[in-house]
Amino acid sequence: MGLCIYLNGEFITDKKLAVTSIYDHGFLYGDGIFEGIRVYNGRIFMFEEHMKRLYDSAKSLALTIPMSIEELSEITMETVRRTGYRDAYIRLVVSRGEGDLGLDPRKCGRPSIYIIADSIQLYPKEKYDVGLTIVTCSTRRNSPDVLCPQVKSLNYLNNILAKIEVNRAGADEGLMLNPRGYVCEATADNIFTIKNGTMFTPPPFVGVLLGITRQCVLDIAEKFGIKVIERNMVVHDVYVADEVFLTGSAAELIPVINVDDRIIGDGKPGPVFKKLLAEFREMTKHRGAPVYD
Protein backbone atom coordinates (compact mmCIF):
# COMPACT_ATOMS: atom_id res chain seq x y z
CA MET A 1 0.00 0.00 0.00
CA GLY A 2 1.20 3.50 -0.74
CA LEU A 3 1.74 5.55 -3.89
CA CYS A 4 -0.38 4.45 -6.85
CA ILE A 5 -0.33 5.74 -10.41
CA TYR A 6 -2.83 5.06 -13.16
CA LEU A 7 -1.18 5.29 -16.55
CA ASN A 8 -3.34 4.72 -19.63
CA GLY A 9 -5.10 1.63 -18.32
CA GLU A 10 -2.41 0.30 -16.01
CA PHE A 11 -1.95 0.72 -12.26
CA ILE A 12 1.67 1.20 -11.19
CA THR A 13 3.15 1.44 -7.70
CA ASP A 14 6.74 2.28 -8.63
CA LYS A 15 7.02 5.83 -9.95
CA LYS A 16 10.20 4.90 -11.82
CA LEU A 17 8.08 2.62 -13.99
CA ALA A 18 5.46 5.28 -14.68
CA VAL A 19 6.88 6.45 -18.00
CA THR A 20 5.38 8.07 -21.05
CA SER A 21 6.48 8.84 -24.59
CA ILE A 22 8.76 11.82 -25.08
CA TYR A 23 6.54 12.54 -28.09
CA ASP A 24 3.57 13.16 -25.83
CA HIS A 25 2.42 16.72 -26.53
CA GLY A 26 1.83 17.28 -22.85
CA PHE A 27 5.59 16.95 -22.43
CA LEU A 28 6.61 18.68 -25.67
CA TYR A 29 4.20 21.62 -25.58
CA GLY A 30 2.26 21.64 -22.32
CA ASP A 31 -0.80 20.61 -24.34
CA GLY A 32 -3.04 19.18 -21.70
CA ILE A 33 -4.98 19.83 -18.51
CA PHE A 34 -4.95 18.76 -14.89
CA GLU A 35 -6.69 18.88 -11.53
CA GLY A 36 -5.22 18.76 -8.04
CA ILE A 37 -7.68 17.10 -5.66
CA ARG A 38 -7.56 16.33 -1.94
CA VAL A 39 -8.71 13.24 -0.09
CA TYR A 40 -9.72 13.73 3.53
CA ASN A 41 -10.85 10.98 5.88
CA GLY A 42 -11.40 8.56 3.01
CA ARG A 43 -13.47 11.02 0.96
CA ILE A 44 -12.50 12.84 -2.21
CA PHE A 45 -13.22 16.45 -1.36
CA MET A 46 -15.30 18.46 -3.86
CA PHE A 47 -14.85 15.59 -6.32
CA GLU A 48 -17.78 16.44 -8.56
CA GLU A 49 -16.66 20.07 -8.86
CA HIS A 50 -13.10 19.07 -9.77
CA MET A 51 -14.24 16.59 -12.40
CA LYS A 52 -16.61 19.10 -13.96
CA ARG A 53 -13.83 21.65 -14.17
CA LEU A 54 -11.52 19.09 -15.77
CA TYR A 55 -14.05 18.37 -18.50
CA ASP A 56 -14.73 22.08 -18.97
CA SER A 57 -11.00 22.69 -19.43
CA ALA A 58 -10.86 19.85 -21.96
CA LYS A 59 -13.78 21.28 -23.92
CA SER A 60 -12.17 24.70 -24.03
CA LEU A 61 -9.01 23.15 -25.51
CA ALA A 62 -10.97 20.97 -27.97
CA LEU A 63 -9.49 17.97 -26.16
CA THR A 64 -11.77 14.95 -26.06
CA ILE A 65 -11.27 12.85 -22.94
CA PRO A 66 -11.67 9.25 -24.16
CA MET A 67 -14.07 8.15 -21.43
CA SER A 68 -17.12 9.45 -19.64
CA ILE A 69 -16.88 11.54 -16.51
CA GLU A 70 -18.38 8.63 -14.57
CA GLU A 71 -15.76 6.19 -15.87
CA LEU A 72 -12.87 8.52 -15.12
CA SER A 73 -14.29 9.22 -11.66
CA GLU A 74 -14.38 5.51 -10.84
CA ILE A 75 -10.80 4.99 -12.09
CA THR A 76 -9.69 7.91 -9.92
CA MET A 77 -11.38 6.36 -6.92
CA GLU A 78 -9.77 3.00 -7.62
CA THR A 79 -6.35 4.64 -7.82
CA VAL A 80 -6.89 6.09 -4.36
CA ARG A 81 -8.21 2.78 -3.01
CA ARG A 82 -5.02 1.04 -4.05
CA THR A 83 -2.96 3.43 -1.92
CA GLY A 84 -4.90 2.59 1.22
CA TYR A 85 -4.58 6.24 2.25
CA ARG A 86 -7.34 8.00 4.16
CA ASP A 87 -5.74 11.37 3.38
CA ALA A 88 -4.05 11.91 0.03
CA TYR A 89 -3.47 14.22 -2.90
CA ILE A 90 -4.59 13.35 -6.42
CA ARG A 91 -3.01 14.79 -9.54
CA LEU A 92 -5.24 13.96 -12.51
CA VAL A 93 -3.64 14.78 -15.86
CA VAL A 94 -5.00 14.50 -19.40
CA SER A 95 -2.58 15.29 -22.20
CA ARG A 96 -3.17 15.53 -25.94
CA GLY A 97 -1.24 12.31 -26.26
CA GLU A 98 1.58 11.07 -28.43
CA GLY A 99 2.15 12.94 -31.70
CA ASP A 100 5.04 14.14 -33.80
CA LEU A 101 7.47 17.01 -33.28
CA GLY A 102 5.08 19.54 -34.78
CA LEU A 103 2.44 21.56 -32.97
CA ASP A 104 -0.56 20.19 -34.85
CA PRO A 105 -2.85 18.41 -32.35
CA ARG A 106 -4.41 16.44 -35.23
CA LYS A 107 -1.17 14.45 -35.37
CA CYS A 108 -1.82 13.12 -31.87
CA GLY A 109 -3.73 9.90 -31.51
CA ARG A 110 -5.53 9.05 -28.32
CA PRO A 111 -5.18 11.44 -25.33
CA SER A 112 -3.16 10.13 -22.40
CA ILE A 113 -4.59 9.90 -18.88
CA TYR A 114 -2.39 9.89 -15.80
CA ILE A 115 -3.62 9.78 -12.20
CA ILE A 116 -1.18 10.09 -9.30
CA ALA A 117 -2.42 9.38 -5.77
CA ASP A 118 0.15 10.26 -3.14
CA SER A 119 0.73 12.54 -0.17
CA ILE A 120 1.60 16.25 -0.38
CA GLN A 121 2.78 19.07 1.84
CA LEU A 122 2.96 22.38 -0.02
CA TYR A 123 4.07 24.50 2.93
CA PRO A 124 5.74 23.53 6.22
CA LYS A 125 3.19 22.77 8.95
CA GLU A 126 4.36 25.63 11.15
CA LYS A 127 3.50 28.17 8.45
CA TYR A 128 -0.19 27.54 9.07
CA ASP A 129 0.36 28.75 12.64
CA VAL A 130 2.77 31.65 12.07
CA GLY A 131 1.89 32.73 8.51
CA LEU A 132 3.71 33.30 5.24
CA THR A 133 6.00 36.04 4.04
CA ILE A 134 5.28 36.98 0.43
CA VAL A 135 6.71 39.37 -2.17
CA THR A 136 5.20 41.05 -5.21
CA CYS A 137 6.61 39.54 -8.40
CA SER A 138 7.65 41.50 -11.47
CA THR A 139 6.45 38.61 -13.63
CA ARG A 140 2.89 39.51 -14.62
CA ARG A 141 0.04 37.03 -14.76
CA ASN A 142 -1.03 35.93 -18.23
CA SER A 143 -3.70 38.24 -19.63
CA PRO A 144 -7.11 36.49 -19.77
CA ASP A 145 -7.56 37.58 -23.40
CA VAL A 146 -4.40 35.61 -24.27
CA LEU A 147 -4.83 32.48 -22.17
CA CYS A 148 -8.02 31.85 -20.21
CA PRO A 149 -7.18 31.38 -16.52
CA GLN A 150 -10.14 29.02 -16.10
CA VAL A 151 -8.30 26.38 -18.14
CA LYS A 152 -5.96 24.47 -15.84
CA SER A 153 -3.42 23.72 -18.52
CA LEU A 154 -0.11 21.93 -18.17
CA ASN A 155 1.78 25.11 -19.06
CA TYR A 156 2.69 26.83 -15.78
CA LEU A 157 5.82 28.61 -17.02
CA ASN A 158 4.30 32.00 -16.13
CA ASN A 159 3.86 30.85 -12.52
CA ILE A 160 7.28 29.18 -12.41
CA LEU A 161 9.05 32.38 -13.45
CA ALA A 162 7.29 34.15 -10.58
CA LYS A 163 8.26 31.32 -8.22
CA ILE A 164 11.91 31.79 -9.20
CA GLU A 165 11.61 35.41 -8.05
CA VAL A 166 10.10 34.22 -4.77
CA ASN A 167 12.98 31.82 -4.19
CA ARG A 168 15.60 34.46 -4.94
CA ALA A 169 13.92 36.84 -2.50
CA GLY A 170 13.94 34.20 0.23
CA ALA A 171 10.16 34.49 0.63
CA ASP A 172 7.48 31.82 1.01
CA GLU A 173 5.20 32.87 -1.82
CA GLY A 174 4.68 35.52 -4.48
CA LEU A 175 1.90 37.93 -5.36
CA MET A 176 1.19 38.19 -9.09
CA LEU A 177 -0.40 41.19 -10.78
CA ASN A 178 -2.08 41.39 -14.17
CA PRO A 179 -0.69 43.57 -17.00
CA ARG A 180 -2.67 46.55 -15.68
CA GLY A 181 -1.24 46.23 -12.20
CA TYR A 182 -4.26 44.72 -10.47
CA VAL A 183 -3.79 41.92 -7.94
CA CYS A 184 -4.53 38.49 -9.40
CA GLU A 185 -3.33 35.65 -7.20
CA ALA A 186 -0.26 33.96 -5.76
CA THR A 187 1.88 31.66 -7.90
CA ALA A 188 -0.47 28.74 -7.19
CA ASP A 189 -3.22 30.05 -4.91
CA ASN A 190 -6.07 32.54 -4.76
CA ILE A 191 -5.83 35.52 -2.41
CA PHE A 192 -8.25 37.10 0.07
CA THR A 193 -7.92 40.22 2.20
CA ILE A 194 -10.01 41.37 5.15
CA LYS A 195 -10.50 45.04 6.05
CA ASN A 196 -12.85 46.29 8.75
CA GLY A 197 -14.71 42.99 8.82
CA THR A 198 -15.30 42.84 5.04
CA MET A 199 -13.59 40.23 2.89
CA PHE A 200 -12.21 41.12 -0.53
CA THR A 201 -10.91 38.98 -3.41
CA PRO A 202 -10.07 39.73 -7.05
CA PRO A 203 -12.85 39.14 -9.60
CA PRO A 204 -12.56 36.53 -12.37
CA PHE A 205 -12.03 38.96 -15.24
CA VAL A 206 -8.68 40.26 -13.95
CA GLY A 207 -7.11 36.88 -14.70
CA VAL A 208 -7.66 34.56 -11.76
CA LEU A 209 -8.58 30.90 -11.61
CA LEU A 210 -11.94 30.39 -9.97
CA GLY A 211 -10.49 28.02 -7.42
CA ILE A 212 -12.64 25.35 -5.82
CA THR A 213 -11.20 26.07 -2.37
CA ARG A 214 -11.84 29.76 -3.11
CA GLN A 215 -15.51 28.91 -3.62
CA CYS A 216 -15.56 26.93 -0.38
CA VAL A 217 -14.33 30.02 1.46
CA LEU A 218 -17.00 32.16 -0.22
CA ASP A 219 -19.65 29.66 0.90
CA ILE A 220 -18.32 29.62 4.47
CA ALA A 221 -18.25 33.42 4.57
CA GLU A 222 -21.89 33.51 3.48
CA LYS A 223 -22.78 31.01 6.20
CA PHE A 224 -21.15 33.23 8.83
CA GLY A 225 -22.66 36.41 7.43
CA ILE A 226 -19.29 37.85 6.42
CA LYS A 227 -19.64 40.43 3.68
CA VAL A 228 -17.58 39.56 0.58
CA ILE A 229 -16.75 41.92 -2.28
CA GLU A 230 -15.10 40.79 -5.52
CA ARG A 231 -13.36 43.85 -6.90
CA ASN A 232 -10.16 45.12 -8.48
CA MET A 233 -7.37 45.38 -5.94
CA VAL A 234 -3.96 47.03 -6.07
CA VAL A 235 -0.96 46.14 -3.92
CA HIS A 236 -1.78 49.01 -1.56
CA ASP A 237 -5.02 47.22 -0.64
CA VAL A 238 -3.00 44.19 0.40
CA TYR A 239 -0.50 46.23 2.42
CA VAL A 240 -3.19 47.93 4.52
CA ALA A 241 -5.42 44.88 5.03
CA ASP A 242 -6.19 43.67 8.55
CA GLU A 243 -5.74 40.07 7.40
CA VAL A 244 -4.50 38.31 4.26
CA PHE A 245 -4.68 34.64 3.40
CA LEU A 246 -4.30 32.30 0.43
CA THR A 247 -6.45 29.38 -0.69
CA GLY A 248 -5.89 26.36 -2.91
CA SER A 249 -6.51 22.62 -3.03
CA ALA A 250 -2.94 21.80 -2.06
CA ALA A 251 -2.43 24.79 0.25
CA GLU A 252 -5.94 24.70 1.78
CA LEU A 253 -6.19 28.01 3.73
CA ILE A 254 -2.93 29.59 4.87
CA PRO A 255 -2.34 33.04 6.43
CA VAL A 256 0.00 35.77 5.18
CA ILE A 257 1.61 38.03 7.78
CA ASN A 258 4.17 39.98 5.72
CA VAL A 259 3.96 41.41 2.19
CA ASP A 260 6.99 43.23 0.74
CA ASP A 261 8.25 43.92 4.29
CA ARG A 262 4.88 45.37 5.33
CA ILE A 263 3.49 43.68 8.43
CA ILE A 264 -0.13 42.62 7.95
CA GLY A 265 -2.33 43.49 10.93
CA ASP A 266 -0.49 42.60 14.12
CA GLY A 267 1.80 40.17 12.32
CA LYS A 268 -0.17 37.10 13.36
CA PRO A 269 -2.94 35.03 11.73
CA GLY A 270 -6.17 36.96 12.30
CA PRO A 271 -9.45 35.95 13.95
CA VAL A 272 -11.51 35.88 10.76
CA PHE A 273 -8.97 33.61 9.08
CA LYS A 274 -8.94 31.28 12.08
CA LYS A 275 -12.73 31.08 12.03
CA LEU A 276 -12.79 30.28 8.31
CA LEU A 277 -10.02 27.70 8.65
CA ALA A 278 -11.77 25.92 11.51
CA GLU A 279 -14.98 25.66 9.51
CA PHE A 280 -13.11 24.50 6.40
CA ARG A 281 -11.40 21.74 8.37
CA GLU A 282 -14.72 20.69 9.80
CA MET A 283 -16.15 20.57 6.28
CA THR A 284 -13.37 18.27 5.07
CA LYS A 285 -14.25 15.69 7.73
CA HIS A 286 -17.58 14.74 6.19
CA ARG A 287 -17.91 16.30 2.74
CA GLY A 288 -16.85 14.40 -0.36
CA ALA A 289 -17.26 11.20 -2.35
CA PRO A 290 -16.50 8.12 -0.19
CA VAL A 291 -13.65 6.02 -1.54
CA TYR A 292 -13.89 3.03 0.76
CA ASP A 293 -17.33 1.44 0.92
Query: Which residues have a Cβ under 8 Å from the Cβ of 28 and sit 6 or more positions away?
Result: 22, 99, 101
Res 214: pLDDT? 98
Q: Are residues 190 and 235 in the same domain?
A: yes
Q: Which amino acid is at 249?
A: S
**Does residue 32 register a pLDDT over 80?**
yes
Res 124: pLDDT? 84
Q: Are residues 141 and 226 in the same domain?
A: yes
* SS3 call for 203: coil
Q: Are residues 266 and 161 in the same domain?
A: yes
Pairing between β-strand 32-40 and β-strand 43-44 as defined by DSSP bridges: antiparallel
**Does residue 92 register a pLDDT over 90?**
yes
**Does residue 119 register a pLDDT over 90?**
no
Q: Are residues 65 and 173 in the same domain?
A: no
Res 120: pLDDT? 81
Res 78: pLDDT? 97
Is 280 part of any domain? yes
Q: Region 247-274: what's the mean pLDDT?
A: 97
212-224 vs 271-286: helix axis angle to the nearest 10? 110
CATH code at 43? 3.30.470.10
| Buried-exposed string 154-183: b where 16+ CB fall within 10 A, e elsewhere | beeeebebbbebbeeeebbbbbbbbeeebb
Res 61: pLDDT? 97
Long-range contacts of 106-111 (CB under 8 A, 24+ apart): 108/25, 108/31, 110/66, 111/32, 111/63, 111/64, 111/65, 111/66
Is 268 part of any domain? yes
Could you tell me if 171 and 201 are in contact, meaning their C-beta atoms sit under 8 angstroms apart? no
Pairing between β-strand 88-95 and β-strand 32-40 as defined by DSSP bridges: antiparallel
Q: Are residues 152 and 113 in the same domain?
A: no
Task: Place 79 in a pLDDT band, splitting at 50, 70 and 90.
Answer: very high
Pairing between β-strand 4-7 and β-strand 112-118 as defined by DSSP bridges: antiparallel
Nearest Cα residue to 142 out of 131, 156, 125: 156
Q: Are residues 33 and 95 in the same domain?
A: yes
Is 213 part of any domain? yes
Is 290 part of any domain? no
Range of the domain at 162: 127-285
SS (H, E, C) 105-153: HHHCCCCEEEEEEECCCCCCCCHHHHCEEEEECCCCCCCCCCCCCCCCE
Q: Are residues 141 and 273 in the same domain?
A: yes
Phi, psi at residue 79, to the nearest 5°?
-60, -45
Q: What is the pLDDT of residues 34-63, one digit of tens each?
A: 999 999 999 999 999 999 999 999 999 999
Res 107: pLDDT? 96
Q: Measure the CA–CA gap between 181 and 161, rounded to whole angstroms.
A: 17
Q: Are residues 185 and 97 in the same domain?
A: no
Q: Are residues 148 and 168 in the same domain?
A: yes
Is 292 part of any domain? no
Could you tell me if 277 and 216 are in contact, meaning their C-beta atoms sit under 8 angstroms apart? no
Is 293 part of any domain? no
* SS3 call for 32: strand
Q: Measure the CA–CA gap between 127 and 107, rounded to whole angstroms.
A: 46
Last residue of a domain, one of 118, 146, 169: 118
**Does residue 293 register a pLDDT over 80?**
no
Residues classed as catalytic: 152
| Burial of 57 (C-beta count, 10 Å sphere; 0-12/13-18/19+) | buried
Q: What average pLDDT does the structure give for the chain? A: 96
Q: Are residues 149 and 277 in the same domain?
A: yes
Q: Domain tally for the chain? A: 2
Q: Region 102-121: what's the mean pLDDT?
A: 94
**Does residue 121 register a pLDDT over 90?**
no
Q: What is the pLDDT of residues 222-232, one digit of tens each?
A: 999 999 999 99
CATH code at 201? 3.20.10.10
Res 125: pLDDT? 86
Taking the model in full, what pTM does it have?
Answer: 0.94
Could you tell me if 199 and 227 are in contact, meaning their C-beta atoms sit under 8 angstroms apart? yes
Last residue of a domain, one of 51, 86, 118: 118
| Burial of 2 (C-beta count, 10 Å sphere; 0-12/13-18/19+) | exposed
Q: Region 107-118: what's the mean pLDDT?
A: 96
Res 64: pLDDT? 97
Nearest Cα residue to 214 out of 182, 253, 242: 253
Is 48 part of any domain? yes
Q: What is the pLDDT of residues 203-214, one digit of tens each?
A: 998 999 999 999
**Does residue 122 register a pLDDT over 80?**
no
**Does residue 1 register a pLDDT over 80?**
no
Q: Are residues 113 and 228 in the same domain?
A: no
Is 96 part of any domain? yes
Last residue of a domain, one of 118, 145, 175: 118
Task: Place 275 in a pLDDT band, splitting at 50, 70 and 90.
Answer: very high
Q: What is the pLDDT of residues 19-31, one digit of tens each?
A: 999 999 999 999 9
Q: Which amino acid is at 4?
A: C
Q: Are residues 52 and 78 in the same domain?
A: yes
Q: Region 140-164: what's the mean pLDDT?
A: 94
